[in-house]
A and B are shown apart, each in its own frame.
Chain A
Amino acid sequence: MFFQFPALLGALLVLPGIWWLLRAWPPAPRTQVFPPIALLTRLKPAHDDAATPPLWLLLLRLAAVTLLILGLAIPVIPGRPVPLPGSGTLVVLMDNGLFSAADWPARTAAAHAVLDAAGHAGRKIVLLPTAPNGPASPTNEPLLPPVLSAEEASHRLDALRPAPWAPDRARIAATLRTLMAAHAPIGAVIYFDDGVATPGKEGAVADRTLAAALAATAPIQDIRFPDSQPMVLTGTHTPDEGADSGVMAQLITLPQAMSRHVRIRAHGQDGGTLAVTDVTIPADATSAPVSVALPTITRNRVDLLSVDATPSAAATLLLDEGDRLRPVGLVSASASGDTPLVGTQFYLRRALTPTADLHTGTVASLVSQPLSVLIAPDGSLTDGETRKRVADWVRKGGTLIRFAGRTLAGNEDSASETDDADSSTQKNDVATTLLPVSLMPTARQLGGAMSWGKPQPLTAFPETSPFHGLPIPKDVTVSRQVLARPAPDLDSRTWARLADGTPLVTHTPLGKGEVVLFHVTPTADWSNLPLSGLFVAMLERLVNHASGVDAPADTAILPPVLSLDGDGALGPPPPFARGLAANLFGSTPPSPEHPPGLYGSRSARRALNVGDTIHTLSVLPAVGVSATPAGHQPDRYPGPWLLALGLLLLLIDAIWTWQLRGFSLGRSSTRASLLVLLLVAQIPPAFAQDAVPLPQPSPPPSQITEPVPQAALETRLAYVLTGNAEVDSVSREGLQGLSDYVNARTSAVLGHPDGVRPGKDDLAYYPLLYWPITPDAHVTPAETAALSTFMARGGMIVIDTQGVDPDTARNDETGFSGDAPGSTAALRRVTAGLPIPALARLDDHHVLSHTFYLLHAFPGRYAGQPVWVAREGEAENDDVSPVIIGSADWAHAWAVDQNGDTRFAVLPGGDEQRRTAYRFGVNAVIYALTGNYKADQVHVPAILRRLGE
C-alpha cells in the first residue's frame, strides 16, 4: 500500500494535541432546575474525573481523525501483480465486438490490471481493439497504432466501448504485421478474446489469419472469460411454428453442460416492457425458441426483444413491420373449405398463418371484428346483401382480396348484365359486384388437350405494384383464369400480369378501401401459383399494403433512422452509417457502415439485426497460452471508504454527545440535525460508486391486486338494467324465482342474479342475459358492441318485450297478452346493431323445447305468444341460438317476492301456466349452459343402431 499524497500523513502529528485538548476541555454540562438543591450541596462526589470524556470516546475521536487523514492522503492498494510475459512493448489486444458487451466491466477490469502491472514495470503499451470504430479507410491500409504509456493506454481503455458489430480479426492481423515491421521489439501479446469465432463464411479464415499473425509476433497470453455467455436473438426462420405457438425469436448461444435460464423482455414502442418470458436453454443445446404469450394486438406492439441483464446488440432483436401479425379475415364459404390439398382455404391458411393473425368465419361475424384485410374465396360473396355489407366495410378502409373460381367464371348472366349497363355506372358496379374490373363471361383455358396455347408464366411486376421486386420463379404457370374485359384503365388497375399481358391480379379503390382480385383460384387446380413461395410473399405484401406499409424489396436505399449501440440501446445512428438497399436486408451482417438498427421511412421500415446473419455460434480456438482473468485485480483506492468510516465514527460521537447533554432525538432541532447527518451518510456510497460499479436493481414486476368478481366464482343469471326501477325490480325477482326453481329441480346451482349495464360491466361471467325491452329503450354503440361480443362468445340473450304492441299485433294470434305500446319500434331500435341470425318460430321440435322438460307451449305471464329463436342450421355457435325473442313477459311469471309469493297473476291463469313458464325458464337456462347437448342426444339411438350393425 502506498499513498498518493504522503505529505498529508504529517497531519497525524496533531493527534497528541487533540488528545490533550479533549482531556483539558470536558464537555459542557447540561442545566437542570432542581428545588431541593440544598440537599445536593451536601453530596460528596467520589471522583471528579468524569469531567473528562471516557477513554473509549477519546479513542473513537482519535480513530475518526486518523481515518480522515489517511483517507485524504488517498491510499492505493496495488492489485495482484500479474505475471507479464516477455519484456519490452506489450501489445494488448481487446475484443470489443458483439459478444463483449455482457461482461464488459470484468473485461476492462482485467485489462486495467494488466495495464497497472505494465505501468509498474515501466513497459510501453500498444492497445488494439479488434472491432473497428468506424468505416475502413478508403485505401484499406492498416493504420499504425500508437505506442502509449500505461497511463495513456488506461485512459484509452476507459473510453473504449463495445461495438455492435463483429470484430474484424483479419484487419487486426494486417495491423499486427505492420506493427511488427515498424516496431521490431514487441515483448508479448495479451489477447482478451470473447471466445466466439467470427461468424460468417469468411470468419474461420479471418480467425486463422489472426492466429497466424499472432504466432509470428511474440509470446501470446490468451485471456478468456469463462463466465461469458454470448447470446444472439434471431428472428424465426421456420414459419410453421410462428403464430400459433407464439414463438417470436430464436435464442442462439454456445452449448454448455448445464441448462440455463434466460429472461427475455419484450418492449413496446415507448420502451415499456410488454411481456417477460423465461427461456430455458437445455444442456448442450445451441438454441432455444423464445415464445412470448401475448394477445395478437399486444404482440403487434412489440418493437424490441432483449435478453434481460446482458444488454448487448447481439442480445437485442428489433422487429419491423414485416414481423407484425396483421389481422386477416378469411371467409369460410363452405364446410369443406379446409379439406387438405383441395379446399379453398387450405393454401390460404398455410400461406397466412406465419405472418398474420387469421380469423375465419362468416362475412357477418368477420365484418364486425377489427380487420384490415378480408379474403373471400370464390362463392362466398354470391349473396347481394352480403356484398352490400362488404362494400360498406371496404368503403370504410378495408381491403378485400377475392379469388376467382367456378362461381365467378360461371357468372355469365350477371356479367352480361353489367355488359349491357352504361359505362358511366362503372363506379356503382364495383360497389355491387365487388370486382375491380368487369370480367369476360367465361374463363380462359390455357393448355390442355383441346387447346393450342401453353400454360403461361408470370411477367415481372410493374413499378406501381406492391409486388414490385418479388422474384418470380420460372415454374409458376397459370393454366386457367378469368379474363378481364378490356377497358381504358385496365392497365393502371393491373398489379400482376401473365407473360402474354393478361391481368392476373387487378385492383380498384372503393371508398377509402380497395378491392383486389386474383384471377385464379386459391387452390392448385387453375395454376400452380398457390404451391409456390411467391404466393406467400404476394399475400404478405398485400396484407402489409392494406396496413399502409409498403416495404420495398428492390434496390431502393433505406437510410438509417435509429441504430443500436454496443450495449443494445437505440439511439441516433453514427455519422458514418450509410443506407442499405432494401433487398440486402437479412443477408448483410452489421458493420460500421451498416450498424444494426432501423432503416427507412415509417411506412417502409426495415430492421437490420445481428441475428439476421448469425445462425450458429462456435468457439474460437485458443491461441498461445490460455489464461483466465482470475487473480487479475486492478489497483484499488480505499480512500473513500476510510473517509466514510471516519465520518461515521464522528456521527456516532455526535449522537453520543447529544445524548449526554440530554437532548432527546424527538426534538425538532435534533431531528433536523439528524437529517443533515443522514444526508452526509449518503455521500460515501456515492464515492464508492467510482470504485465499484454497483448492479442496477431491476424494478420489481408490478403486482395485480384486482379482486375476483363474485360472478366468476358461481354461476349467475343476469338482467339488463333498463333504468326503470319497477321493471328492474321485477327482472331481479323474476330471475331470483327462476334461479330458485332451477336450484330446486336440477343439478345446476345458480347464485343470485345480477343487474348489469352492457358496455360498463363485464358480461363474460354470465351464461344468460334477460333483457326486458321498455318502449323508451335506447342503446349506445358501446352497449351494442358489448352485447355483440357477448353473443359472439356464446352468451345467450332472452329479449322480452313484456307484452304485444297493439299497433303491430296480428289478428290471427289468439293468446292473451298485455299491451306494450311502442315496444316493437323499441325492439327494432335496440337490436339494430346486434348480429341476430335469421329467426324461426320456436316449436316443440326445437332443442329448447326438450333440454330439460318436454314442452309444447312456452308461456310467460301471457300465454300463446310466439317465441323466436335462431333458425336451425343458421347460427354459428354450434347451432345454439344466441337469442330468444318473445313478448310473453316471463319475468313477471317467474317473479317471487321476499315472502316467497308470486306477485303477478298469469293470464289467462292457472298454476299449470305458471309451472309451464318456470319449466320454459329451466329449459332456457339448461340450454344456455349445455348448448346443443340435447340435440346430439337425439341421434344417440341412430348411432347405437349403427354400432350394433
Chain B
Amino acid sequence: MRTADTHTSEPALLATEADRLAAPLPALVMEAERIAATVATGLHGRRRAGPGETFWQFRPALPGESVSRIDWRQSARSHRAQARETEAENAQTIYLWCDLSPSMFWRSDTRALPLKRDRAILLLLGLASLLERSDERVRLLTPQGPAMLPPGAGRIAMRIGLALETLARQDSLPALPAAIALPRHARLIVASDLLCPDQDLDALLRGLAGNGIGAHLIQIHDPAERALPWSGRVRFEGTEGEPSITLPRVETLREDYGKLFDERVRKLRMLADRCGHTLLTHSTDMSAASTLLTLGTSLQSHRTGGRA
C-alpha cells in the first residue's frame, strides 16, 4: 500500500492524489490560520504612515510641503490646510515553493505522524496567512513560474491551497524550483525534504543569490529519517525509483546513519549560508507553530536588516 502511494507517475493517480490533498485542505487552512493567529500576536505589523496607496490619516500641512499632498476637500472643512497621508507600503513579494515530489508523500507512522507533504503545506499556508496579516504580498511559485491564484476574495491561505491543489494534479513535479526569473529583492520560501542531489541545490541557491533573491529553506524530515528505528535484516526501497538495498542488522548501523544525516544537514546549511540564505530544519513530530514563529522572526529580521 505504502509503495503504491509513493510511486505516483500516472496522471490519473496524481489526480486522485490531488483530490486527496484537497480533501484535508479546509482543515489545513483552518489549522494554518489558527497557528498564524497564535504567532501574529508575537509580531508587530507595520502600521505607520509612509509611501502607499491606502489612506492613513490627515494632518495639518506643514510649511513648505508640496501642494499636491494637500487634500483640498478636507481642508475646505476647516481653516487650515490638511495634508493627506497614506500608509507605508513596501511592495516586497514573497514567493512560496512547495516540494510535491513522491518522496514527500511518506511517513513512518500512519497513526501518529502527518505526511511530510502535508506538513510542508501546513507551514506554507500558515506562513501565507501570517504574512497577509502584516500586509505582505504572497505568491505561489510553480515550475511554470508564479501561479495565478484563483480569483475572488477570501483568505489567502485558501486561495494558495486551491492553487496547490491544481498544481498537485500535474505530473512529475520537481523537488526544487527551476531558475526562473524572479523580481529582484523578492523572497523565496522553499519547503522541501531536500533529498535532491546537492549540486542541484547549490546551483539553485547560487542563481538566486545572483538575482539578489533571499531564500529561506525549510527542510522537512520524518523523525524516522533521522533515527532509523528499525532493527534486524531490512530491505530498503526508495520512493523515486532508486535501487533497493538490503542491510543486515540495521540496529548496528543506526549510529553511523545518524552521523551521515547530521553531516548532510550541516552541509546544506553551509551551502545556504554561503549565499546568504537561511535553512530551517523541521521534523514532522515537532510543533508546526514553533517552526512558524521561528520562520516569521527570521523573515522579519532578514527584511528589516535588508532595508536598513
Contacts and interface: CB of A to CB of B under 8 A. Distances in A.
A888 B2 CA distance: 89
Interface string B243-276: 0111111001100110011001000000000000
B306 interface: no
A43 B235 contact: no
Given A34-B238, A36-B195, A43-B260, 19 more contacts: A27-B233, A29-B232, A29-B234, A30-B230, A32-B234, A33-B237, A33-B239, A34-B224, A34-B225, A36-B221, A37-B238, A37-B244, A37-B245, A45-B249, A45-B252, A45-B253, A46-B252, A48-B248, A51-B248
A45 B253 CA distance: 7
Interface in A644-669: 660-662
A439 B195 CA distance: 126
- Sorting the interface of chain B by its residue count into under 10, 10 to 19, 20 to 34 or 35 or more gives 35 or more
Nearest to B240: A35
A42 interface: yes
Contact of A33 (B2, B193, B195, B261): B2
Contacts of B237: 31-34, 37
Contact of B233 (A29, A36, A41, A42): A29
Given A42-B260, A44-B256, A45-B249, A50 B233 contact: yes
28 contacts: A29-B233, A29-B246, A32-B234, A33-B236, A33-B237, A34-B224, A34-B236, A35-B103, A35-B238, A35-B240, A37-B237, A37-B245, A38-B238, A38-B242, A39-B261, A39-B264, A40-B245, A43-B253, A43-B256, A45-B247, A45-B252, A50-B232, A50-B248, A50-B252, A51-B248, A660-B232, A662-B230, A662-B232
Contact of B257 (A31, A39, A50): A39
Interface string B144-174: 0000000000000000000000000000000
A926 B233 CA distance: 89
B3 interface: yes
A39 B254 CA distance: 12
B236 A37 contact: yes
Contacts of A43: 247, 253, 256-257, 260
A32 B244 CA distance: 10
Contacts of B239: 33, 35
Interface of B: 2-3, 6, 103, 106, 193, 195, 221-222, 224-225, 230, 232-240, 242, 244-249, 252-253, 256-257, 260-261, 264
Nearest to A28: B233
Contacts of A51: 233, 248
A44 B239 CA distance: 22
Interface centre among B2, B222, B234, B264 (most CB of A within 10 A): B234
Nearest to A39: B260
Shortest Cβ-Cβ A-B pairs, 8 listed = A50-B248, A50-B249, A29-B233, A37-B238, A35-B103, A34-B236, A29-B235, A35-B239
Contact of A35 (B193, B234, B247): B193
Contacts of B224: 34
Nearest to B237: A33
A151 to B, nearest CB: 55
A619 B6 CA distance: 89
Nearest to B2: A33
A38 B257 CA distance: 11
A473 interface: no
A26 interface: yes
A35 B195 contact: yes
A725 B249 CA distance: 82
A30 B245 contact: no
A30 B232 contact: yes
B198 to A, nearest CB: 10
A889 B121 CA distance: 85
Interface residues of A, number: 27
Contacts of A45: 247-249, 252-253
Contact of A40 (B3, B221, B247, B249): B247
A774 to B, nearest CB: 68
A661 B231 CA distance: 9
A54 to B, nearest CB: 10
Contacts of A32: 230, 234-237
A667 to B, nearest CB: 14
A34 B195 CA distance: 12
Contacts of A37: 236-238, 242, 244-245
B232 A35 contact: no
B126 to A, nearest CB: 24
B234 A30 contact: yes
Contacts of B245: 37, 40-41
A27 B225 CA distance: 25
Contacts of B234: 29-32
Contacts of B246: 29
Interface centre among A32, A36, A49 (most CB of B within 10 A): A36
Contacts of A30: 230, 232-235
Nearest to B257: A43
A668 to B, nearest CB: 16
Nearest to B6: A33
A34 B226 CA distance: 11
A49 to B, nearest CB: 8
A36 B235 contact: no
Contacts of B233: 26-27, 29-30, 50-51, 660
Interface string A660-703: 11100000000000000000000000000000000000000000
A654 to B, nearest CB: 16
Contacts of A34: 224-225, 236-238
Contacts of B225: 34-36
Interface in A50-100: 50-51
Given A26-B233, A31-B235, A32-B236, A38 B256 contact: no
B112 to A, nearest CB: 15
B261 A36 contact: yes
B241 to A, nearest CB: 10
Contacts of A46: 252
A50 B232 CA distance: 8
A431 B248 CA distance: 107
B222 to A, nearest CB: 8
A29 B236 CA distance: 10
A798 to B, nearest CB: 71
Contact of B106 (A35, A39, A44): A35
Contacts of A42: 260
A42 B267 CA distance: 16
Contacts of B235: 29-32
A29 B193 CA distance: 27
A266 B237 CA distance: 73
Contacts of A660: 232-233
A26 to B, nearest CB: 7
Nearest to A51: B248
A40 B235 CA distance: 11
A43 B256 CA distance: 7
Nearest to B230: A32
A818 B222 CA distance: 91
Nearest to B106: A35
A43 B236 CA distance: 13
B254 to A, nearest CB: 10
Interface centre among B2, B233, B239 (most CB of A within 10 A): B233
A43 to B, nearest CB: 5
A660 B233 CA distance: 8
A29 B245 CA distance: 11
Contacts of A661: 232
B8 to A, nearest CB: 13
Interface centre among A38, A40, A660 (most CB of B within 10 A): A40
B202 to A, nearest CB: 16
A660 B251 CA distance: 12
Nearest to B102: A35
A406 to B, nearest CB: 100
Contacts of A662: 230, 232
Contacts of A27: 233
B248 to A, nearest CB: 4
B195 A40 contact: no
